[in-house]
Structure 1
Amino acid sequence: MRIAVTGSIATDHLMTFPGSFTDQLLADRLDRVSLSFLADRLEIRRGGVAANISFGLGLLGLRPVLAGAVGGDFEPYRVWLKQHGVDTDSVLVSQEHHTARFVCTTDRMQNQIATFYAGAMTQARHIDLADVIERVGRLGLVMVSPDDPEAMLRHTRTCRRLGIPFAADPSQQLARLDKDAVLDLVDGARWLFTNEYEAALLRERTGLTTAGVLRLVGTWVTTHGAAGVRIQSADGEVTAVPAVETAGVVDPTGVGDAFRAGFLAGMAWGVSRTCAAQLGCVVAATVLDYVGTQEYRLYRDSLVARIRGTYGAGCVAHLVTHLRELT
């Protein structure tokens, strides 16, 4: 099954300030703040939800089609993604804007001051999935992840019009979408992905109960961090899969994207949703061992050992066949 992933493609600039931001703030001068912090470390990381999910799918051998908008500075990032199995030929390159950028400074108390520059992402609304299909052929699934809101809505409408199964992952954009837009985005989705907080926000935005949301979508997948994942369907079927225990968390950034990659890979292979969720949880746990969202690697023996060690041997036989190409 060929999967297209639409959504954000970005570069993260992560800096560390050894002091405390609050020590520099004057209570009687907060109406006119003008501060500069001397950072002692800078890490530049590849990011963006769609790129992160595509990277994980590429590592698992699915060769996903990435569809998002970037600037003329994207070329080195394109090479990286292609090297890791991602089809980037449907990425729109803006001649006017830079690739989206997340700039964040963290102090020693883990307080953060951040700015997100959408940049070329605002041009994603001009991407037509019909052109993607003309180039690569019929798609088995379109993953609609956080992006320019107009682009997200255009993609879901195109999927409904062309009869293409799609997954909705509104994520960070829920805060910007009104009731009608949220309903338009999720209506008819085969899969709806949220974390626990986003699930509550989605119900608040739409005014629907869980049962009401499930009448609009095929299956609702909700991640609960260390508590694992819960999968619900309108027919009442509920699947709960615990998370993989980790000795220590190096960096939690991108863990949700990694879960989605593993889960979607499992569904593309035709395994049960329990087995797909187990694979998703193991890939997510792997990301926790690395700094950055695309620095991890997947090794067959390590994945199988973690699946067996956490969940038993039940899904191993169903998954190992599809993991044979991994070293």
Structure 2
Amino acid sequence: MTSQYDVLGLGNAIVDVISMVDDDLLAREKLAKGGMMLIDEARTESLYKQMGSTSIISGGSAANTIVGAASFGAKTAFIGKVKADETGKAFAHDIRAIGVEFTTKPAQDGPATARCLILVTPDGERTMNTFLGACQNLGPDDVDADLVRASAITYLEGYLWDPPAAKQAFVRASEIAHAAGRRVALTLSDQFCVDRYRAEFLDLIRSKTIDILFANQHELKSLYETSDFDSAVAALRNEDILGAVTVSEKGSLVVTRGETLAVPAYPIQKLVDTTGAGDLYAAGFLAGLSRDQDLKTCAQLGALAASEVIQHVGARPQRSLAAMASENGLGV
């Protein structure tokens, strides 16, 4: 079946504010290293004042994935809610400039466009503090049915499962996609997100609301409430969906009912910032999958994209991922 778009993302439209910090700041502010915490506007301003020098980049997990897929040459689109403020305009400009279709109507009132304060420690680990703002108002009416039908794969961001209206948007998008013979993917996003919505995420899998699941090893173990990774993988295999599980520097596993493929990570020169590693892995995987590449190649494309993004600050590629794929014999 032909499609106008390869990958459509639904997620939080966020502007990332990134700063290199020491571990003392995390301890002082009682922040769980490597996690993502939802904060209010007052807490956002308080933390921002302690961050020192910052880099400001349009972000959001699914948006990063869609931008990464576009860098591979995939035809992409994004649905996410911003406010009609300067931050919202910056987000829209950035994502459109990369070639991503973004037509979601901005909010005229209500909370400001979302920001994610990303604290990067010397070991490259990132701790995220997110003010969702206007993101929380994404709802089913924002789901463009024609856009979903025109997209080979619709990709849903687990972080967006917090607001009730966004859950309705997810289900609506999935129903439209499946009615059109398309596939739907979900990323679990964060271990703490899984802790909050474990039963609901499992229901999305078992009700066949989704066809493809992205997770890292910690999220998968949390999903199945086990400390044993092999047991978690076995449980995922029994779900009879396509799973792509990242295992940090060890690479990733592609899990289906019939097989489990282990695909190594690409070597890097220096780890700088792990922000966006999972997002960009999904970008490569989905870019390949939407172009009918085999599962091993999809995982290799994901690993290649992740290797690029962790060697610099920021969650979006600074090199053409299509060019990198070509250099490594991985045509998309």
TM-score, scaled relative to structure 2: 0.77
Unaligned residue ranges in structure 1 (runs of 5+): 26-34, 308-315, 323-327
**1:61 match:** 73
CA distance in 2, matches of 1:54, 1:88: 11
Q: Spell out, residue by residue over 1:99-131, the C-alpha distance to the aligned partner (whole angstroms, 9 max, x if none).
A: 2112255677989886321111111234453xx
Compute the displacement of 1:301 (Å).
4.7
Please say which of residues 241-250 and 38-47 is displaced more in the overlay: 38-47
* Counterpart for residue 233 of structure 1: 256
Residues 76 and 101, structure 2, Cα contact 8 Å, conserved in 1: yes
1:98 equivalent to 2:109? Answer no
DSSP 3-state at the match of 2:170? helix
Three-state SS of the structure 1 residue aligned to 2:54 is strand
Q: Which amino acid aligns with 1:70?
A: V
Name structure 2 gaps, 5 residues minimum: 30-45
**Higher relative contact order at CA 8 Å, sep ≥6: structure 1 or structure 2?**
2
1:256 Cα shift? 0.9
C-alpha distance in structure 1 between counterparts of 2:315 and 2:27, whole Å: 31
Matched, 1:288 2:310: yes
Secondary structure in 1 matching 2:58:
strand
Question: What's the counterpart of residue 155 of structure 1?
Answer: 170
State how 1:49-198 maps to structure 2 within 5 Å: 49-73=61-85, 74-90=88-104, 92-93=106-107, 95-104=109-118, 115-129=129-143, 132-135=144-147, 137-149=149-161, 150=164, 151-152=166-167, 154-156=169-171, 158-160=173-175, 162-163=178-179, 164-172=182-190, 173-179=193-199, 181-187=200-206, 188=208, 189-198=210-219
How many residue pairs get aligned? The number is: 295
Is 1:7 aligned with 2:11? Answer: yes
Are the counterparts in 2 of residues 18 and 39 from structure 1 also a CA contact under 8 Å?
no
- How far apart, CA to CA, are the structure 2 residues paired with 1:297 and 1:56? 10
- Give the corresponding residue for 1:199: 220
Q: How does 1:205-224 map to 2 (within 5 A)?
A: 210-224=233-247
Q: Is the 8 A contact 2:68 2:321 kept in 1?
A: no
Partner of 1:312: none
Q: Which string of whole-angstrom CA distances, capped at 9 and with x for unpartnered residues, describes residues 12-49 of structure 1?
A: 22345579448979xxxxxxxxx997554122222111
Cα deviation, residue 79, structure 1:
1.5
TM-score, normalised via structure 1 length: 0.79
Identical counterparts, % of pairs:
22
CA distance in 2, matches of 1:258, 1:17: 23
Closer, same or farther: CA 72–19 of 1 in aligned 2, 3 Å: same
Cα separation, 2, equivalents of 1:158 and 1:76: 26
Structure 1 counterpart SS, 2:308: helix
